[in-house]
Chains A and B, each alone.
Chain A
Amino acid sequence: MAAEHARPAILAEGLIKRFGKTVALDGLDLEVAAGTVLGLLGPNGAGKTTAVRIFTTLLAPDGGRAEVVGLDCVRQANALRAKIGLAGQYAAVDELLTGRENLEMVGRLYRMGRASARSRALELLERFGLMEAANRTAKTYSGGMRRRLDLAASLIATPPVLFLDEPTTGLDPQSRLSMWELIGELRAGGTTLLLTTQYLEEADYLADLIAVIDHGRTIALGTADELKRDVGGERIELTLARGSDMELGARTLAGHVDGSVRVDAEARRLSAAAADGARRLADVVRDFDAVSIGLDDIAVRRPTLDDVFLALTGHAAEEDEEIAA
């Protein structure tokens, strides 16, 4: 048992993958202990999906080493496949089979007995709220239902390690929440989870440990709190009244803060790092008064992963305008 714990559930060492001239992974390193939820966070094209495809034996790396539960992703691929589950970006379900048939099929292919595949399928349909649709073809399912069926299929044989590639991309807010709940239950059950996401809030909410990757490399690894701490302390965030001069506002705020001021013109929002922000608020308010800019909202908050991302990569996860202080 002790040895089991010492061995990482997921391991990547200097992983390299090229597609023609494009370098998708450029020496990726990762180490995930059993029972951990790792959020692989990065913008589109950072290499998240490529990494998942190597761990799930769909792609062979061009260099480096990848292991899952101590099994090499290339040399021991077949033994490894029995220990993992994969749910991809697009729900990989057979549209002409019913929900129940889909699950039983995948169960049988995991080499489960007929009876246990059947009872496990029913158990998952029940738990994922698909019981009423169990005998309808997946063609008739909504996007959220398909995604749940896909996740259920990846869980049918209770694999100890689960890979979820952007599990909530394209889902409506309600389906996303129900997906989050299901992932939360899996975490509680002790499954090791690697999930990729472009959503900072999602990684923040679901993951024990976050790896930020950009251009095929891990640029930061830590808990959400550690990453936020690294970026610095509190931030002052202002929302200006409609029709305000954003540039004048940015200049006014710049005198009170430590770093550059980020401007989100559309949301009429200014934000900047400011250690001990609460004490400076009074001065900020007075100066905005002096230049006659109204404030709709004023807040001091701890940095979000958005800020982490910007600080680490030099570009925002979502495009923001940036004005130097």
Chain B
Amino acid sequence: MSVQPLTEADAHGWLYWQVSDAIVLTGRALRHIPRNPELLVYSAIQPVMFVVLFRYVLGGAIKLPPGVSYVNYLMAGVFVNTVAFGSFTTGVGLAEDLQRGLIDRFRSLPMSRAAVLIGRTLSDLVRNFFTGAIMFGVGILVGFNPTGGPLEIVAAVGLLLLLGFAFSWIGATIGLAVRNVEAVQSAGLIWIFPLVFASSAFVPTTGMPAGLRAFANNQPITHITNAVRGWFLGTPVHSNGWLGLVWGLGILVVFVPLSVSVYRHATGKS
């Protein structure tokens, strides 16, 4: 008698197993969150520092349009900054999976090629939501006063989560390509820092030199920050809302297939 594998692969169709694999791996990554509370704490420390520094140290020196308090201006930037840097976690997590040989195991299984990435990005979405909620509380403590209506607040939170999710897929691509945890962290700083600072996240772009301002006014972080800010404060968002949405979806259209293709060939060690 020959050995036969225990499998029910034929009992269901292709789509069923794609979804099943994604659920299994999302469950796996979600379990990581409470078992690694340090990560949640660390991912909240940097934005809390930013709130304090910008609110109390730099805030007084920043020129704003009349009628807006700096703390109300700042918080949208802090939220965007928080979810943007949240993409670190995705890249670092995948680089760790690679180094520990887990990706090799997954790639040797008859499973979906996207499930590992979906699991990581979805659980980081949940983590982003929690860090965002912590930041909201911190914001209220230092005087943040959102006056937008409930629908507008929901739109703001939705756009923030889309940004975090989209950036997670960029983080995933980098994590799989770079493969080394420390290098993933440096690589993350290199692309996220300029993007967040050369934007309207912390200061209005009007004070920037012409070339930089042209860049700042036309990149996703600015559109998304402006939209989130407008929705939280109940002021007009103009075209920033749909531009932010297009940017978020556009990043997903490019980076989801790209990261899956990098995953197909990723090995822990050659």
Interface residues, chain A, with chain B CB atoms under 8 Å away: 4, 19, 34-35, 53, 56-59, 78-79, 81-84, 86, 88-97, 101, 105-106, 108-113, 116, 120, 137, 153, 156-160, 189-191
Contacts and interface: CB of A to CB of B under 8 A. Distances in A.
A97 B102 CA distance: 12
A191 B3 contact: yes
Among A4, A106, A191, the one with the most B-chain Cβ atoms within 10 Å of its Cβ is A106
13 contacts: A35-B2, A58-B104, A58-B108, A59-B270, A90-B101, A106-B105, A109-B25, A109-B110, A111-B20, A111-B110, A112-B8, A116-B6, A160-B4
Contact of A105 (B1, B3, B24, B108): B24
B208 interface: no
Contacts of A95: 100
Given A56-B108, A160-B2, A110 B267 contact: no
Contacts of A88: 101, 104-105
Nearest to B17: A111
Given A79-B110, A88-B104, A113-B11, 13 more contacts: A57-B108, A88-B105, A92-B101, A92-B105, A94-B102, A96-B31, A101-B28, A109-B21, A109-B110, A112-B6, A137-B35, A157-B6, A190-B2
Contacts of A81: 108-111
Among B4, B17, B104, the one with the most A-chain Cβ atoms within 10 Å of its Cβ is B104
B112 to A, nearest CB: 9
A109 B114 CA distance: 12
Nearest to B106: A109
A59 B1 CA distance: 31
A94 B4 contact: no
Contacts of A19: 270
A41 B152 CA distance: 66
Contacts, number: 112
Nearest to B116: A109
Contact of B100 (A90, A160, A189): A90
Given A113-B8, A120-B6, A97 B28 contact: yes
Contacts of B6: 110, 112, 116, 120, 156-158
Nearest to A5: B2
Contacts of A160: 2-5
A232 B11 CA distance: 56
B111 to A, nearest CB: 4
A159 B24 contact: no
A92 B99 CA distance: 9
Nearest to B33: A96
B267 A53 contact: yes
A53 B107 CA distance: 11
Interface string B1-23: 11111111101000001001100
Interface residues of B, number: 34
Contacts of B36: 96
A86 to B, nearest CB: 4
A14 B102 CA distance: 29
B31 to A, nearest CB: 6
B63 interface: no
Among A88, A113, A190, the one with the most B-chain Cβ atoms within 10 Å of its Cβ is A88
A interface, by DSSP: helix, strand, loop or mixed? Answer: loop
Contact of B5 (A94, A105, A137, A159): A159
Interface of B: 1-9, 11, 17, 20-21, 24-25, 28, 31-32, 35-36, 100-102, 104-111, 115, 267, 270
Contacts of A190: 1-3
B267 to A, nearest CB: 6
A86 B104 contact: yes
B111 A109 contact: yes
Nearest to A9: B2
Contacts of B106: 109
A110 B7 contact: yes
A97 B7 CA distance: 23
A109 B106 CA distance: 8
Contacts of A59: 267, 270
Contacts of A156: 6
A111 B11 CA distance: 9
A79 to B, nearest CB: 8
Nearest to A90: B101
A82 B8 contact: no
B33 to A, nearest CB: 9
A158 B2 CA distance: 11
Among A56, A94, A120, the one with the most B-chain Cβ atoms within 10 Å of its Cβ is A94
A112 B7 contact: yes
A34 B1 CA distance: 11
A79 B110 CA distance: 7
Given A81-B109, A90-B100, A158 B5 contact: yes
Nearest to A78: B110
Given A92-B104, A96-B36, A109-B111, A158 B28 contact: no
Nearest to B36: A96
Contacts of A92: 100-102, 104-105
Contacts of B21: 108-109
A106 B3 contact: no
Contact of B8 (A84, A106, A111): A111
B24 A109 contact: yes
